[in-house]
Amino acid sequence: MSKQNISDDSEQEKRKDSALSGGWNDFINGIKNNFNDFQKSLESQSQKNKELWEKNKDKINTFFTNMKQKWDKKIQVLNSDIEKSKLETKEQWNGYKEKVKQDFKKWEEKTREDWQEGIKSFRKGFFKAYFWALLLILPILLIVIVVLVIVNRYLG
């Protein structure tokens, strides 16, 4: 009889071990699947951000080429005006020079503002990506902590 009790005890221990290892394997598989989903979402978000970067890059390049063309046209107009008018006095020349400086400052300010707006929109895209990553990580982290606390209570 004692051999039968020993074999019953060993069978019960095997059942407990298999249930624990099966639960642990399910837990690990769940974490792997969630991590893979998280990784795929980060990759897709990175791709979207890369596409936005390329899109904004083209806009910035076209903006600067357009501004350069406009500025070149203005310079040509100003040069032709200078040729036509043949400024007679130094005061007229200084006034004209101030006008050119003011036009350049206005263009420079407008360019700086447009550049800052482009950078802000780019930053917003990255902040959205960080926010979504945080939203995806927090639930997984909470589940892991809760499971660890529960396992610790049962094992400890």
pLDDT in tens, 68-114: 898 889 888 888 877 777 656 677 778 888 999 999 999 999 999 98
pLDDT category at 6 given cuts 50, 70, 90 is low
Judged by average pLDDT, the poorest of 46-50, 55-59, 115-119 is 55-59
Q: Is the pLDDT of residue 12 over 80?
A: no
For residue 141, give Cα distances in angstroms to 5, 82, 135, 138: 44, 71, 10, 5
The pLDDT score that the predictor gives to residue 87 is 58
Predicted local distance difference test score (pLDDT) of residue 15 = 64
- Separation of alpha carbons 99 and 5, rounded Å: 105
pLDDT score for 156: 67
Q: What's the pLDDT tens digit per position in 81-93?
A: 777 776 566 777 7
54-62: average pLDDT:
80
* Domain extents in the chain: 2-155
Higher pLDDT, residue 83 or 51: 51
